[in-house]
Structures are given as C-alpha cells and as structure tokens.
Amino acid sequence: MKNKTFATWLALLGGPLGLHRFYLRGWGDALGWMLPWPTLVGAMGVLRARQLGVDDQLSWLLVPLLGVVVTACALTAIVYGLTDRPKWNGRFNPSRDPEDSAGRTSGLTILAVVCAMLIGTTALMSTLAYVFQHYFEYQALTPP
C-alpha cells in the first residue's frame, strides 16, 4: 500500500536522491537511479563556487543542475499531494478500493504541499537569479 502523504514528503525531502521513485515504483526504476547524479554534480558546483569563488565558470554550469532538480522534485511533491484519492489509488494501489485511506489527503499532506511551494519557488527563483546574473556579468566582461 503506497501512502500519498508519505510519498509527498519523500518527494520533497528525498526527491533529489530519487527516494520517492523507489518508494512508488521499486528499486528497478531507471529515473530513480538517475536523479542522484545531477544532484551530486550540482552540489559539486556549489562546493566549487564556495572554494574557488563565484567567478569559477564551471560552477556556473553545475550549480543550476541542483536548482532544477530541487524545483522538479518540489513540483512532483505538489502533484502527488494534490492528486485525488481515486486517481492515487488507481495508479499506485490498483488492487485496493479506489476510496482506500492510502490516497487520503490529510493535514500533513497539505503541509507538505505548502512546504513544496515554498522550497520549489525559492529554488527556482534562486537558480534563475544565479544563472542570469552570471550570464550578464560574463557578457559585460567579455570584450567585443
């Protein structure tokens, strides 16, 4: 039985590592195994920027990967949390009754959706600001 509230929190907190995919689809899920790589590469970009400064051009390419993955996982958490009970149970608990309690929306589910909106928006806006700032700085500093 796949619980919607638990899957929503997993997508929000462990999504960049693919934990929600493994919970819902099992260990054979290819996307679940691919999600940690851009997360780790983006985290490496953050470490490079902290060690070498914000002028490190490789970190300009790597850091946005982390922001995109966090934003996508927050969006996934929102979609999971807002899925209605029959659709959730039909997709992830097909042998259960469509009105089974596993697909129920609780206060914790709504809290996860609100947190996902906050974290996802922050990650998206921070990533866009980082990318555009460095792009325009590069354009201004590059001789014609």
Output the pLDDT for position 121.
97
Output the pLDDT for position 43.
95
Domain, as residue range, for 41: 4-141
Does 144 have pLDDT greater than 70? no
Q: How far apart are CA 91 and CA 86, in angstroms?
A: 9
pLDDT, tens digit, 9 for 90 and up, residues 62-105: 999 999 999 999 999 999 999 999 999 999 999 988 888 888 99
In single-letter form, the type of residue at position 126 comes to S
Q: How many CB atoms lie within 10 A of CB 128?
A: 13
Phi, psi dihedrals of residue 61, rounded to the nearest 5°: -85, -30
pTM: 0.89
Residues 3-27, mean pLDDT to the nearest whole number: 96
Q: How far apart are CA 109 and CA 130, in angstroms?
A: 31
Q: How far apart are CA 68 and CA 45, in angstroms?
A: 13
pLDDT, tens digit, 9 for 90 and up, residues 20-62: 999 999 999 999 999 999 999 999 999 999 999 878 888 888 9
Q: Using CB atoms within 10 Å of the CB of residue 139, give its burial: 0 to 12 exposed, 13 to 18 middle, 19+ buried.
A: exposed
Total domains in the chain come to 1
Residues 104-109, mean pLDDT to the nearest whole number: 94
